[in-house]
Structure 1
């Protein structure tokens, strides 16, 4: 890293991810995600060998001290020849006009150039996350989102559908076609499948099974499925048998009162039900292959997050703690992102706990924790591992 900041890489990357990146009109050619499910309003950048999803369309990012140089660096500034093939040319990251580090942007994937026989662009079926992860929201509708009273206050799953950038239901055949192309043309290493919650008691597990079977019939890559805890635990074995390698069931918010306010529909599934679901799922998928998202910065205290994470890790669940990102068009669009110091206070002890129990992100077979780009947690893990050794 060429950064002039006197801080560890984990601290620097956390600062960047919480404050965002202020792009100019000259920078808009790069790959980014606006609206929809998953890491929205972000830009994937690689700095010091770590790829991060960095907010760019948020109000926080518009006031960020981090910007890019107006001119891309020449090939002389590229230290790894492989980067020229996989990424666009280097730019310099600046903070208050002071050069900090060289950064690269993921190039447009080749599979984005293709469409199905009936004319649906592949990018409407699945998208590139980070540099080697294929992601899709199988059902772009959700019983929670459709009710203003029950919708998660941070969610924007319907935005990309309304904008015509995706389709409501991706069939197993469509997913298989796109996955095969992404693996062959772009070297995709694993797949993330999430879904809006349907009305059935399976809460999305059924569509995970159908989709995984379709993909695994044509290409052998690890898949993470993401859904709410199904009412019947038999679905965990069904998902594993269908080809799901790791499972995500996302708490997002921990404190019961906050859950009722921020995730009113999901809060109807109690914390006790979630923790029973985690126990049942770990028994099927194994330690470290079940994960949950926790959005830091929505009101849960440092102590609450750390204590809950320790409980989760002890159960064999990987707590993927990410900074909350206020997404335009949602009820929480004006809520500030958490500070870097808040994130560090949570991530540093969590990383040490994960290292101590040998349950780090590199051991997860597929999914968000394996990718790691939405949090600097994996970088804290590496630093904790170096100290432990």
Structure 2
């Protein structure tokens, strides 16, 4: 599938019934999980989209694109509850056709009004009763075993809200990885957290059995970070670079990733150049595009729409377990830059309205009613 089509679908969404979808949370929301041209994709569901699915194919208006589309079926493990009575679906979600994803700690020390990332809704699913505040290692192990056995899950992604401790959540992730691998030996697990104060925690995560890690900076532009991720911006990009370098040493090249969001007011050329630098480091840049309505949190809180239909995003691409195993080779890593250039071209073509810096500086901070 041409990168331009992936970018266009990621930006404009699709009209389709999707049994597996997300309405909010720490990652992409308002999306449906599909198998698009043989690849897992999390695509915005938008009734206004010119794209639709008919007879298992993607249509643009009245034109058949020829691309096969299959909505991911509802997993059987969603019908189960843990030994202590919690529905499995509140412990972990299916992403794509074969990825089990969980937010181990659903709260974040940076979620106060003055600190929170303006596009993140990590605690909203907790307020809505769709999840629990903290998942125990035993619960995660129980759900992972069932998901592998009943639904053929091939990999797992564990993220977490940032915790108060200097490990920034790495400690609970390490315990969780050990428990899951004891129940499902050999399951590739990717973990995601902020740079810990002591980078030795990265080695602890690898020793626990994690196969890959995401350390998400969101933007390489410090001004953009202060405006959009004020809490995380207290940790400078230089510290992320130190963490990425150590993570590459510990986990290996292309087993380390980071989100780079487009549409926050950054310079597009600098974004592409920054992605190229990351690739040279051995860090896989997961590109993301923020739609115009997501730039105003009161209207579309937490809608992190991954460009290229999140095809390169760990936890959203289910093909051969590549994300959790860190299987982003040089060819695919180069695709990260191509995807970002696709977003840049789409913006220039008028499909993504540029967020003026003056507008971004005054973006509303009001939280929606819970």
Q: Give TM-score, length-normalised by structure 1.
A: 0.76
SS of 1:305's equivalent? helix
Indicate yes or no: 2:144 matched with 1:179: yes
Equivalences for residues 42-81 of structure 1 within 5 A: 42-56=31-45, 61-69=46-54, 73=55
Query: Is the Cα–Cα contact under 8 Å of residues 276 and 337 in structure 2 kept in the other structure?
Result: no
SS of 1:181's equivalent? helix
SS of 2:191's equivalent? strand
Counterpart pick for 1:330 among 290, 297, 301: 297
Query: Is the Cα–Cα contact under 8 Å of residues 154 and 320 in structure 2 kept in the other structure?
Result: no
Equivalent pairs counted in the alignment come to 325
> What is the aligned partner in structure 1 of residue 14 from structure 2?
21
Indicate yes or no: 2:146 matched with 1:161: no
Indicate yes or no: 2:91 matched with 1:125: yes
Query: Considering only aligned residues, what root-mean-square deviation do their CA atoms show, in Å?
Result: 3.1
Query: Judging changes above 3 Å, is the alpha-carbon distance between structure 1 residues 162 and 329 closer, same or farther for their aligned structure 2 residues?
Result: farther
Query: Is the Cα–Cα contact under 8 Å of residues 92 and 140 in structure 2 kept in the other structure?
Result: yes
> What is the aligned partner in structure 2 of residue 144 from structure 1?
110
Indicate yes or no: 2:366 matched with 1:366: no
1:245-290: CA deviations, max 9, x gaps?
A: 1111001112111100000000000011110111111111111111
> What is the aligned partner in structure 2 of residue 31 from structure 1?
20
Q: Give TM-score, length-normalised by structure 2.
A: 0.80
> What is the aligned partner in structure 2 of residue 76 from structure 1?
none
Query: Judging changes above 3 Å, is the alpha-carbon distance between structure 1 residues 51 and 377 closer, same or farther for their aligned structure 2 residues?
Result: farther
Greater length-normalized contact order (CA 8 Å, ≥ 6 residues apart): 2
Bigger CA drift: 46-55 or 193-202?
Answer: 46-55
Indicate yes or no: 2:29 matched with 1:40: yes
Query: Judging changes above 3 Å, is the alpha-carbon distance between structure 1 residues 376 and 287 closer, same or farther for their aligned structure 2 residues?
Result: closer
Equivalences for residues 1-389 of structure 1 within 5 A: 9-23=2-16, 27=17, 30-56=19-45, 61-69=46-54, 73=55, 90=56, 92-101=57-66, 102-145=68-111, 147-220=112-185, 221-325=187-291, 330-331=297-298, 333=300, 366=324, 377=335
CA distance, structure 2, for counterparts of residue 308 and residue 322 of structure 1: 14
Query: Is the Cα–Cα contact under 8 Å of residues 13 and 376 in structure 1 kept in the other structure?
Result: no
CA distance, structure 1, for counterparts of residue 232 and residue 51 of structure 2: 35
CA distance, structure 1, for counterparts of residue 232 and residue 82 of structure 2: 35
Query: Judging changes above 3 Å, is the alpha-carbon distance between structure 1 residues 338 and 173 closer, same or farther for their aligned structure 2 residues?
Result: closer
SS of 2:286's equivalent? strand
Query: Judging changes above 3 Å, is the alpha-carbon distance between structure 1 residues 368 and 324 closer, same or farther for their aligned structure 2 residues?
Result: farther
Query: Judging changes above 3 Å, is the alpha-carbon distance between structure 1 residues 246 and 368 closer, same or farther for their aligned structure 2 residues?
Result: closer
> What is the aligned partner in structure 1 of residue 343 from structure 2?
none
Query: Judging changes above 3 Å, is the alpha-carbon distance between structure 1 residues 337 and 205 closer, same or farther for their aligned structure 2 residues?
Result: closer
Query: Judging changes above 3 Å, is the alpha-carbon distance between structure 1 residues 258 and 233 closer, same or farther for their aligned structure 2 residues?
Result: same
> What is the aligned partner in structure 2 of residue 358 from structure 1?
none
Bigger CA drift: 319-328 or 110-119?
Answer: 319-328
Query: Is the Cα–Cα contact under 8 Å of residues 248 and 255 in structure 2 kept in the other structure?
Result: yes
Q: Which has the larger radius of gyration?
A: 1
Gaps spanning 5+ residues in structure 2: where? 313-318, 340-370
Query: Judging changes above 3 Å, is the alpha-carbon distance between structure 1 residues 143 and 296 closer, same or farther for their aligned structure 2 residues?
Result: same
Query: Judging changes above 3 Å, is the alpha-carbon distance between structure 1 residues 312 and 328 closer, same or farther for their aligned structure 2 residues?
Result: closer
